Amino acid sequence: MTLAACGSDVTGTPEPAGQGASVSSEPSGGSDLDALLVDPTVFPSPYEAIVLPPQAIAQASPDLTGIPAGAEVSPAGCKPAEVQPDGAALIVGTDNANRATISVELTSVDEPLSVREEQLKQCAEVQASKSGATSTIRSTVTPAPPINADETLAVRQTVTSGAGSDAVTQSMLTLMAQVGDVRIAATYMSFGGESTDAATLDEIFTAAVQKVNAG
């Protein structure tokens, strides 16, 4: 299966997420996070979901923030922490007809979610440049979803690149929660003008947080 995940082509084979890992006070390893990841069957039709291998996580994860890996960012201090593939797990469901994806990413963290929230509030508009291409990322923090977690966060973002008739706009809604040292981020991303599939995103986000809580 070829997947247009987060603006990049990613290949992979559907595989079930593992079962039975636990969240500890120490940062969780990638294999533990794989066990806490929701299964592809959680994604309803028309989303076709695959669990990404580590090498694909390194490619796809930065697109979930709109800032490419290795990009120069202005203002300084607005670049989110890089995700290490061995400390992350990522599943992506693709709706090919609507050019949209829903991704669930689990990461091991050593700081509260409020740090990321403050960064997003201070970095409402960011310029990211890489290899001669520049994009503008606009972020708006919205009311956090009510869910059983230590902290929650929601943010709407648009990523605009190119100019004139060549301009491309990527729209995202990300729901985030933190349980212990595990951060859960569910992101709806589209490249068209259609409205956000907020109901499906909320359903998958809820399942993702419940699985981490039950792990």
Decide if pLDDT at 132 tops 70.
yes
Percent of the chain whose predicted confidence (pLDDT) is above 90:
66
> Taking the model in full, what pTM does it have?
0.84
For residue range 161-187, what is the model confidence (pLDDT) as tens digits? 877 777 888 999 999 999 999 999 999
152 pLDDT band, cuts 50/70/90, is very high
Q: Distance (Å, rounded) from C-alpha 152 to C-alpha 150?
A: 7
What's the distance, CA 1 to chain centroid?
20
| pLDDT score at 8 | 38
Tell me which of 78 and 26 has the higher pLDDT: 78
| pLDDT score at 68 | 87
For residue range 58-80, what is the model confidence (pLDDT) as tens digits? 889 998 999 988 899 999 999 99
Domain containing 142 — which CATH number?
Answer: 3.40.1000
| pLDDT score at 195 | 81
| pLDDT score at 29 | 52
> φ and ψ at 178, to 5 degrees?
-130, 130
Number of domains in the chain: 1
| pLDDT score at 12 | 40
Mean pLDDT in the chain? 85
User: 10 Å Cβ neighbour count for 11?
Assistant: 12
Q: Distance (Å, rounded) from C-alpha 94 to C-alpha 4?
A: 7
Domain coverage including residue 154: 2-214
Beta bridge partners, 92, equal 50, 103
